[in-house]
């Protein structure tokens, strides 16, 4: 080849003493070529070749690391070029990757069915699956009907199922899920359990791991010598400690994998002896704390590898089976089965400690067809104003407050429509293509909330409760001096009343009707922390606030003294648009829910909510300023005082053409029961006002409507307003319009429904009063105030901060 390609004749060949070279001795003699060999153990005598080998290996390693080449022996799917005219034949061939062709740009593949080696360019590789390794580990039959069941990962979008010897009428006892590989056997299951133990070792959760599996290599104090006693790694450095993986062959030929802490075995000067997290900056410590925050997985393939999530999924299937949620049938002709998915949640207590891991099977209700799979969908939930109003009455009357949770609430609802659903991901029943015919409402179905509420309402009415017409999620029972009230928010119930024995009997009745969880005294409801003492009931969202601060990356930021700067011009901003508007929408959405206990954020959240569609850099910076304001007041909330006269009072205010884009005015109200805040809101008015008096008058009409509604809710709670409700306004012209039909030329265009203020004054329901602007409590909801005015108003709103700033 050298003579033909380069026109040169080889005279001398120098190599080491490898047999691959010495075996050519006769060939060299025939060609007249001298063969020189180096001495044994002296590669420097063949330096040019050795140096070239080093160069080739360095280049090969660099190319290999950066090219993402497929792993030899891994599973591959090649495009099937031999389909012919059969459109139902598989479009891919299940193969094994075996190398690269010499003269083609493609991959050498071994067909696992036909045992043929061929070259293909259109290939999809699954680099974590090795079919031949699995077959060698199995050593048993690949019959699907007799092999054990195990969790696994899935490559397709169709829901995998668990094999079980169940009949076609019910699911029976839940079984373990399986992998998508047909030839995975019991040997692999044991190996999977080993890998699970190693992952738990890596996470530092040595719950189910023995000392022999994780701590074999830790040296004793005697072996370390003086001054080198064993020290444990700080938990904040777990993510930065490498571990050595040791793979050995077990007694039965099983592959056993164990993790060894390489630091203790190979290093006499571990970094944890010299690096302390206390020397980190506050921002660095906040970053490390965020790294250790446990998060719930999103996909089934990510959750199935952890025992805690497998147990949560099995518990959910057991609950579904126990409740008789479905029947297993073959899909009738002309019917369509909707899909389902797993939703994972980590439940925390109010103090931030872990409560439990929860897996919820959710039907893909977005595939339902209106009129076929469902009709009505509306289901009421308790309003936040009703919750605060009820808790203020409970504090004033010293009622007991209890909380209960319905386990798998939606599964109790009866389903009237004929709905079919595919089997849950990770479960299989026999070899038939079975589907679930739903008998009970399942989470995710559009009609599920309505079905559950109807079932709960029937149980409550049967016990003697009456449903409030002012808030359909409020139920009350009053007889023989006993009062019991229930607030319903989907599956969370708050129970209050004046007789502890009657409450206990009612809780027992609920336990007989549904699978209930008694949470005891009310402490944590809908993310709201509830604390009670002789002064009243304090509501805050401290944990929720800290989560917002942490997720926004502001744990180490300097706190802001006010949520928004005065004289801002956010509506006229011309800064660039945000590249990722989703994070802005997510943050503002969380701030909206924070308004349940933070009236001081009402105005700034209203402003930020106007730019959800196309937020700009200025809007994002303002949202971060709100987070920094929360950083200084994470535990701030409202106090519902026990020494209350239970009289409704309201404050209303409005600006004049405050919106720079639409020139509409912003109206707001703030209402207290006694001196405790129960309702507040800021909303842009529907039309453009022609004067400040008109905008104030429209704001008064909205406040009157809220006062009347709260009065009706109080009647259901057994409280009657014996005196007219007071409404405070700082605009004298608006007060004149409300009291007398004057200024006809200025008010003739105002809608008739706004004149409900005048009617309420005439019938004695409302009495209006003038208030100075500096004492107008609703002023903070309509404009950005300076620090001094802002703090002055906040101190009068019933807002307290019992916690020290972070």
User: For residue 410, what pLDDT is reported?
Assistant: 87
Contact in structure between 16 and 8 (CB atoms under 8 Å): no
- Give mean pLDDT, residues 589-600: 94
Provide the pLDDT confidence category of residue 557 given band limits of 50, 70 and 90.
Answer: confident
- Give mean pLDDT, residues 264-290: 54
Counting residues of the chain whose pLDDT is more than 70, the rounded percentage is 76
Identify the weakest region by mean pLDDT among 61-70, 598-607, 637-646, 659-668: 61-70
- Give mean pLDDT, residues 282-304: 72
User: Which residue pairs from 236-242 have beta carbons closer than 8 angstroms and sit at least 24 positions apart in sequence?
Assistant: 236/277, 236/285, 236/288, 236/289, 236/292, 237/271, 237/272, 237/275, 237/277, 238/202, 238/203, 238/204, 238/292, 239/291, 239/292, 241/272
Closest-CA residue to 700 (of 736, 647, 657): 736
List of domains in the chain:
75-129 (2.30.30), 186-224+231-291 (no CATH), 300-526 (no CATH), 644-771 (3.30.420.10)
- Give mean pLDDT, residues 694-711: 92
Spatial separation of the C-alpha atoms in residues 593 and 599, rounded to whole Å: 11
Q: Helix/strand/coil (H, E, C) string of 19-45?
A: HHHHCCHHHHHHHCCEEEECCCCCHHH
**Within a 13 Å sphere around the CA of 262, how many CA atoms are in the beta-carbon half?**
7
pLDDT of 375-392, one tens digit each? Answer: 888 888 999 999 999 999
- Give mean pLDDT, residues 660-688: 91
Spatial separation of the C-alpha atoms in residues 539 and 537, rounded to whole Å: 7
**Within a 13 Å sphere around the CA of 612, how many CA atoms are in the beta-carbon half?**
12
Spatial separation of the C-alpha atoms in residues 26 and 563, rounded to whole Å: 90
- Give mean pLDDT, residues 661-690: 91
Provide the pLDDT confidence category of residue 694 given band limits of 50, 70 and 90.
Answer: confident
pLDDT of 5-57, one tens digit each? Answer: 777 888 888 888 888 888 888 888 888 888 888 898 888 888 888 888 888 88
Better pLDDT: 274 or 145: 274
Spatial separation of the C-alpha atoms in residues 791 and 631, rounded to whole Å: 16
Strand order of the sheet with strand 337-338?
A: 326-330, 434-438, 420-421, 337-338
pLDDT of 731-788, one tens digit each? Answer: 898 888 888 766 566 666 676 667 788 889 988 999 999 999 888 999 999 998 988 9
Is residue 171 predicted with pLDDT exceeding 90?
no
Better pLDDT: 280 or 244: 280
Provide the pLDDT confidence category of residue 432 given band limits of 50, 70 and 90.
Answer: low
In DSSP notation, 129-188 reads --HHHHHHHH-S---TTTS--------SSSPP-------SS---S------S-TT--HHH
Most confident of 95-99, 235-239, 350-354, 569-573: 95-99
The residue with tokens 């590249």 is 579
Q: Print burial letters for 742-751: b (CB count within 10 Å at least 16), e (below 16).
A: ebeeebeebe
- Give mean pLDDT, residues 308-317: 90
- Give mean pLDDT, residues 570-592: 91
Provide the pLDDT confidence category of residue 67 given band limits of 50, 70 and 90.
Answer: low
Is residue 223 predicted with pLDDT exceeding 80?
no
Opening angle at CA 271, ends 265 and 273, nearest 5: 95
Is residue 264 predicted with pLDDT exceeding 70?
no
The residue with tokens 């800021």 is 682
Provide the pLDDT confidence category of residue 68 given band limits of 50, 70 and 90.
Answer: low
Closest-CA residue to 257 (of 245, 240, 272, 271): 245
Spatial separation of the C-alpha atoms in residues 702 and 691, rounded to whole Å: 17
Mean pLDDT, the chain, rounded, equals: 79
- Give mean pLDDT, residues 244-256: 43
pLDDT of 476-528, one tens digit each? Answer: 999 988 999 999 999 999 999 999 999 999 999 999 999 899 999 999 999 99
Spatial separation of the C-alpha atoms in residues 522 and 504, rounded to whole Å: 14
User: For residue 246, what pLDDT is reported?
Assistant: 44
- Give mean pLDDT, residues 259-274: 45
In the numeric block, which tokens belong to residue 88? 């139902």
Handedness of CA 564, 569, 571, 575 (dihedral sign): negative
Is residue 664 predicted with pLDDT exceeding 70?
yes
Q: What is the DSSP letter of 706?
A: H
User: For residue 651, what pLDDT is reported?
Assistant: 95
User: For residue 623, what pLDDT is reported?
Assistant: 94
H or E stretch including 370? Answer: none
């Amino acid at each position: 080849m050298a003579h033909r390609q380069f026109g040169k004749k080889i005279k001398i060949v120098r190599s080491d003493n490898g047999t691959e070279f010495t075996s050519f001795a006769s060939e060299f003699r025939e060609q007249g070529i001298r063969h020189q060999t180096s001495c044994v153990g002296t590669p420097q005598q063949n330096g040019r070749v050795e140096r070239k080998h080093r160069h080739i290996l360095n280049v090969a390693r660099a190319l290999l690391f950066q090219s993402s080449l497929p792993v030899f022996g891994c599973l591959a799917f090649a495009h099937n070029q031999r389909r012919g005219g059969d459109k139902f034949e598989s479009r891919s061939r299940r193969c094994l990757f075996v190398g690269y062709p010499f003269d083609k740009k493609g991959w050498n593949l071994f067909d696992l069915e036909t045992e043929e080696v061929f070259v293909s360019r259109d290939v999809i590789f699954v680099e974590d699956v090795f079919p031949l390794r699995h077959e060698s580990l199995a050593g048993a039959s690949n019959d699907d009907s007799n092999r054990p069941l195990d969790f696994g990962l899935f490559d397709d979008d169709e829901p995998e199922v668990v094999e079980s010897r169940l009949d076609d009428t019910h699911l029976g006892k839940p079984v373990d899920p399986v992998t998508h590989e047909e030839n995975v056997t019991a040997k692999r299951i044991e190996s999977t359990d080993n890998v699970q133990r190693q992952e738990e070792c890596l996470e530092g959760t040595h719950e189910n791991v023995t000392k022999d599996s994780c701590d074999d290599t830790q040296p004793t104090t005697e072996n370390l010598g003086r001054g080198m006693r064993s020290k444990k790694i700080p938990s904040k450095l777990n993510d930065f400690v490498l571990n050595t993986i040791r793979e050995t062959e077990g007694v039965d030929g099983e592959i056993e994998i164990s993790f060894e802490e390489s630091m203790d075995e190979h290093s006499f000067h571990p970094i944890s002896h010299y690096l302390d997290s206390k020397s980190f900056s506050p921002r660095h410590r906040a970053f490390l704390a965020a790294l250790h925050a446990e998060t719930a997985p999103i996909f089934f393939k990510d959750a199935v590898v952890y025992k805690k999530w497998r147990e949560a999924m099995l518990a959910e299937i057991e609950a579904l089976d126990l409740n008789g949620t479905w029947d297993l049938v073959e899909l009738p002709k002309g019917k369509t089965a909707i899909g389902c998915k797993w939703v994972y949640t980590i439940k925390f207590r109010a103090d931030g400690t872990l409560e439990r891991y929860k897996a919820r099977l959710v039907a893909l209700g977005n595939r339902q067809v209106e009129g076929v799979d469902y009709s009505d969908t509306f289901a009421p939930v308790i309003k936040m104003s009703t919750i605060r109003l009820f808790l203020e009455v409970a504090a004033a009357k010293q009622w007991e407050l209890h909380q209960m949770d319905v386990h798998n609430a939606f599964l109790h609802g009866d389903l009237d429509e004929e709905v079919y659903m595919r089997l849950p991901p990770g479960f299989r029943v026999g070899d038939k293509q079975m589907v679930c015919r739903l008998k009970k409402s399942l989470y995710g179905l559009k009609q599920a909330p309505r079905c559950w509420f109807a079932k709960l309402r029937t149980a409550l009415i049967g016990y003697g409760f009456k449903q409030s017409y002012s808030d359909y999620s409020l139920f009350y029972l009053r007889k023989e001096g006993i009062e019991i009230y229930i607030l319903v928010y989907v599956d969370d119930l708050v129970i209050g009343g004046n007789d502890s024995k009657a409450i206990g009997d009612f809780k027992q009745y609920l336990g007989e009707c549904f699978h209930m969880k008694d949470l005891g005294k009310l402490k944590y409801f809908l993310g709201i922390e509830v604390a009670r003492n002789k002064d009243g009931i304090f509501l805050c969202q401290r944990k929720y606030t800290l989560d917002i601060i942490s997720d926004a990356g502001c744990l180490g930021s300097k706190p802001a003294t006010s949520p928004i700067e005065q004289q801002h011009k956010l509506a006229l901003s011309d800064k660039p648009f945000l590249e990722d508007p989703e994070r802005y929408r997510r943050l503002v959405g969380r701030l909206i829910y924070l308004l349940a206990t933070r009236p001081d954020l009402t105005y700034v959240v209203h402003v930020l909510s106007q730019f959800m569609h196309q937020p700009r850099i200025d809007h994002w910076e303002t949202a971060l300023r709100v987070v920094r304001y929360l950083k200084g007041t994470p535990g701030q909330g409202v106090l519902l005082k026990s020494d209350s006269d239970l009289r409704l009072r309201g404050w209303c205010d409005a600006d004049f053409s405050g919106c720079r884009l639409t020139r509409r005015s912003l109206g707001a109200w703030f209402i207290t029961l006694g001196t405790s805040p129960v309702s507040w809101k800021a909303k842009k008015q529907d039309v453009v006002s022609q004067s400040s008096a008109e905008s104030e008058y429209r704001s008064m009409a909205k406040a009157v409507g809220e006062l009347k509604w709260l009065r009706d809710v109080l009647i259901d709670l057994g409280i009657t307003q014996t005196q007219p409700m007071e409404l405070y306004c700082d605009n004298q012209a608006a007060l004149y319009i409300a009291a007398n039909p004057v200024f006809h030329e200025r008010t003739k265009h105002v809608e008739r429904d706004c004149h409900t203020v005048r009617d309420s004054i005439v019938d004695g329901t409302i009495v209006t009063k003038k208030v100075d602007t500096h004492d107008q409590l609703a002023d903070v909801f309509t404009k950005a105030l300076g620090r001094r005015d802002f703090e002055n108003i906040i101190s009068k709103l019933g807002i307290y901060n019992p916690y020290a700033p972070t």
